[in-house]
Amino acid sequence: MIFQIELFIPELYLLALIGGLFVLTVGPQSWWRFLRYLPLAAGVGIGVAALSFQFSGLMLYGAYQVDGLSQFFKLAIFLGLAVTCLNALNQPTLSEEKRPDYFLFLCLSALGLMLLSSAVELVTIFLALELASYSLYALIPLRSKEPAAAEAGIKYILFGAVVTALAMYGLSYILGVHHTTYLSELMTKTWSWSEAPAALIGLTLFLGALFYKLALFPLHFWCPDVYEGASNETAAFVATLPKLGAVVVLVRLSTLLDPSMEVTMLLAVLAAVSMTFGNLSALVQNDLKRLLGYSSVSHAGYVMLGIVAGTAAGLAAAAFYAVVYLLMNLACFWVICRLSTDGRNLKLDDLNGLYQRSPGLALVLAVSAFALVGLPPTAGFMGKLFLLNSAWMEGYHWLVIIAVLNSAIAIYYYLNLVRHAYTREAPVTASGEVQAVPNPGLLWGGLLAAAVLWLGVAPATLFSFAQLAGAAAGGVLP
């Protein structure tokens, strides 16, 4: 098989970036000033990924598939990478000598996720997943003088290792029963409990690894602790991009799942529990990152609605929601990172009077909070609507009802963010003046919020891309 280089353009571009970063890590410190062009370079990556939309094909002995789905997610990953790099440029808790390494690991993790989005063979998926994870194992403890960071890092590594082992174990079962690891061949095999119980157990274990990444109940426990322990900027990355990666593999694997299968029902139940548990736990949180951690547990449940539906429409809805989630969560974290100038963890009370200190940031926070609730006219609402539609179509009425009731619970804690920002008085300095927020970095946050609003008003374009992705995965056109 010929290696078609044009299929590999986004990955090669990112690889080149990583090479450059590697040179910076070993080079003299005077070169480090180039780091500030990294967000720009990642931004160019968005264009590169967009150009590669026209290509499709299978390579590396059928293990690597370039199609609508993969290119859609590569674009989204570049977008997220650009924003997180921009966000992390002035990270206050990072010691100076670790700066290039930090970005090197960020990009490596993104590369892993990018490979993940094209992998259509279980071992390849596994390797890509590990590449994405190992980089994060190094990133999370990189927060100087913070014992919680070490704890978070250890937790993530240990639980990650256990889940990896389980996934490997599951993989061996699948291989043992079906004698193949290619998704295209696995699609044709039987996955029923009565005929191939071991394969089904294997698949469940393998899915566990993805649920771990996605922080779906019951594999969510690391999530609030790791968010809390990691620096704000790292948490912004961990909370968004790996979720995209998990969603894309789930979309791929969902071709194996039949709506009548026992596993699908299990996934639906997990989705319901995840939403409810995440929301109820978030209600009592005071630490902003823990709050967002539990909220991401509930959002993992929402994404599962589309996966459970399993139709092209459902997969498209899940893909759409994953990108929307990336945008709104990044907007929220953007505000947190700008507010926490010294890198400490913010409490709800730290948001008090934000409208006085920085009206723009308060607006960005409000937009992203309302989007996370799923309130119109934000993209969060549209994403949720598509998910609900697709799940209802497949007859999961109870799941849809649970999902909408959950939005009612979620209102309380997301609205709390807005209430603290808008209705509480700002803290004043000794001289009686309101503390302004220095270096608001408003423009980028504003752009994120505008994107969230724009996708709420005019979701058609992005959704048609997501449909391409869903169709590519499902093998059926909507």
Partner 1 sequence: MIDTGFPVLSALIFFPLLAAIGLFFLRDERTIRLYTLVVGLIEMGLAAPLFRFDLSTAEFQFVEIMPWVPAWNMHYHVGVDGISILMIFLTVLLLPLCVLCSWTYIGKRVKEFHFCLLLMIGACVGIFSALDFVLFYIFWEAMLIPMFLLIAVWGGPNKRYASLKFFIYTLAGSTLFLAAIVAFFVNTGTFSIPELMTHEYSFRFQFWTFLAMALAFAIKVPMFPFHTWLPAAHVEAPTAGSVLLASILLKMGTYGFLRFCLPLTPAASEYFAPLMITISIVSILYGGAIALGQRDMKKLIAYSSVAHMGFVTLGIFVFTMRGVEGAIMQMINHGITTGALFMLVGAIYERSHSREIADNMGLGKYLPAYMFFFGLFAIASFGFPGTNGFVSEALVLIGVFEASYLLGALAIPGVMLAAAYMLRLGLKLAWGQPSQAATWKDLNIREWVYLAPLAVLVLYLGLMPTLALKTINPSVVHLLNQYESRKALHLESSLQPEPPVQSIQLSATRGTDQ
Comparing CB distances to partner 1, the nearer of 277 and 370 is: 370
The only residue of 40, 401, 428, 436 in contact with partner 1, by rule CB under 8 A: 401
How far is residue 423 CA from its own chain's centroid?
31
Retrieve residue 387's tokens.
């998910």
CA distances from 72 to 14, 47, 153, 182, 435 (A): 16, 12, 31, 22, 42
- Nearest distance from C-beta of residue 424 to partner 1, angstroms: 9
Stretch that binds partner 1, among 31-39, 40-48, 404-412, 430-438 (CB under 8 A): 404-412
Q: Which of residues 366-385 bind partner 1 (CB under 8 A)?
A: 366, 370, 375-377, 381-382, 385
Q: Decide: is 206 part of the binding site for partner 1 (CB under 8 A).
A: no
Comparing CB distances to partner 1, the nearer of 125 and 373 is: 373
- Nearest distance from C-beta of residue 46 to partner 1, angstroms: 23
- Nearest distance from C-beta of residue 418 to partner 1, angstroms: 8
CA distances from 286 to 25, 223, 289, 340 (A): 38, 16, 9, 15
Q: Residue 262 carries which DSSP code? A: H
Q: Decide: is 191 part of the binding site for partner 1 (CB under 8 A).
A: no
The only residue of 149, 239, 388, 452 in contact with partner 1, by rule CB under 8 A: 388
Q: Decide: is 404 part of the binding site for partner 1 (CB under 8 A).
A: yes
How far apart are alpha carbons 462 and 455 in whole angstroms?
8
Comparing CB distances to partner 1, the nearer of 205 and 400 is: 400
Is it true that the peptide bond before 224 is cis, omega within 30 degrees of 0?
no
The SS3 call for residue 221 is coil
How far apart are alpha carbons 305 and 275 in whole angstroms?
10
The only residue of 165, 408, 434, 477 in contact with partner 1, by rule CB under 8 A: 408
Strand-pairing partners, residue 64, are 59, 119
Q: Decide: is 451 part of the binding site for partner 1 (CB under 8 A).
A: no
Q: Decide: is 266 part of the binding site for partner 1 (CB under 8 A).
A: no
Comparing CB distances to partner 1, the nearer of 29 and 286 is: 286
Residues 6+ apart with CB under 8 A from 194: none
Q: Decide: is 415 part of the binding site for partner 1 (CB under 8 A).
A: yes
- Nearest distance from C-beta of residue 74 to partner 1, angstroms: 22
The SS3 call for residue 287 is strand
Comparing CB distances to partner 1, the nearer of 201 and 415 is: 415
Compute how many residues bind partner 1; rule: CB under 8 A.
36
Q: Decide: is 459 part of the binding site for partner 1 (CB under 8 A).
A: yes
- Nearest distance from C-beta of residue 376 to partner 1, angstroms: 4
Strand-pairing partners, residue 121, are 182
Q: Which of residues 417-436 bind partner 1 (CB under 8 A)?
A: 419, 422-423
How far apart are alpha carbons 217 and 211 in whole angstroms?
8
Comparing CB distances to partner 1, the nearer of 197 and 395 is: 395
Comparing CB distances to partner 1, the nearer of 41 and 312 is: 312
Q: Decide: is 103 part of the binding site for partner 1 (CB under 8 A).
A: no
- Nearest distance from C-beta of residue 281 to partner 1, angstroms: 18
- Nearest distance from C-beta of residue 303 to partner 1, angstroms: 17
Comparing CB distances to partner 1, the nearer of 226 and 462 is: 462
Structural contact between residues 203 and 196, judged by C-beta atoms closer than 8 angstroms:
no
Comparing CB distances to partner 1, the nearer of 88 and 308 is: 308
Residue with tokens 């968010």: 227
Comparing CB distances to partner 1, the nearer of 13 and 355 is: 355
How far apart are alpha carbons 319 and 243 in whole angstroms?
11
State the burial class of residue 432 (Cβ atoms within 10 Å of its Cβ: 0-12, 13-18, 19+): exposed
State the burial class of residue 443 (Cβ atoms within 10 Å of its Cβ: 0-12, 13-18, 19+): exposed
Please give the span between the terminal C-alpha atoms of the chain, in angstroms, as a whole number.
Answer: 32
Q: Which residue type does 410 have?
A: A
- b or e along 36-47 (b: 16 or more beta carbons within 10 Å of the residue's beta carbon)? eebbebbbebbe
- Nearest distance from C-beta of residue 279 to partner 1, angstroms: 12
- Nearest distance from C-beta of residue 377 to partner 1, angstroms: 5
The SS3 call for residue 57 is strand
The SS3 call for residue 396 is coil
Comparing CB distances to partner 1, the nearer of 234 and 407 is: 407
- Residue ranges that bind partner 1, judged by CB under 8 A: 313, 316, 355, 366, 370, 375-377, 381-382, 385-386, 388-389, 392-393, 397, 400-401, 404-405, 407-408, 411-412, 415, 419, 422-423, 458-460, 463-464, 467, 478
